[in-house]
Amino acid sequence: MTDSIEVSGRALIFDRNGNALVLKRHPASTTNAGKWELPGGKPDKGESFEASLRREVREETGFEIDIFRSVGTADQHIPGWHVIHVIVLAGIRSGGLAISDEHSEFRWMKIPEIAALDKADWFGDYYTSYLQVPGTAPESDKEQ
């Protein structure tokens, strides 16, 4: 049996201090429960990628966003599904932070600080491939 392929849009959003917004999935989530991720999700039938990303971010954070450019991808394999996460750099146009029931917590963090979080599987792969700053991984903090 072949896995169904889905695309999920994710927004990498920074505040004015250079901190990225991360959300913690609700403990009752069916996938990656209690793990940290970026806001976003999958398009509804007939919905464009950009429209779905704007809707998902608005639903999950309360923010209206501007979409700037793609900043990477990450794969997620769930039994029967292959989800391709397309991460875009986005900016806050308006709104105030109000997370949805899908998440239990939020944080604004510097990129190196995200290394210590228990990340969703796909977000961990994305972080390692695109965001990890050399010399900031936890194992590099050990004295040589």
pLDDT tens by residue, 6-22: 999 999 999 999 999 99
| Structural domains of the chain in order of their starting residue, each with its CATH number | 4-132 (3.90.79.10)
Task: Tell me whether strands 81-95 and 4-13 are parallel, antiparallel or unpaired.
Answer: parallel
Tens of pLDDT along 90-130? 999 999 999 999 999 999 999 999 999 999 999 999 999 99
User: Are the C-beta atoms of 67 and 50 separated by less than 8 Å?
Assistant: yes
Q: What percent of the chain has pLDDT over 90?
A: 85
| DSSP codes, 97-116 | ----TTEEEEEEE-HHHHTT
Residue 78 neighbours by CB distance under 10 Å? 15
Residue with the larger pLDDT of the pair 137 and 73: 73
Number of H helices, E strands in the chain: 3, 7
**What's residue 99's pLDDT?**
96
Reported pTM: 0.90
State what percent of residues in the chain have pLDDT above 70.
91
Find out whether 132 and 115 touch, Cβ atoms under 8 Å. Answer: yes
**Sign of the torsion formed by the C-alpha atoms of 134, 136, 142 and 144:** positive
- Residue 132: pLDDT band by 50, 70, 90 thresholds? confident
Q: Is the pLDDT of residue 140 over 90?
A: no
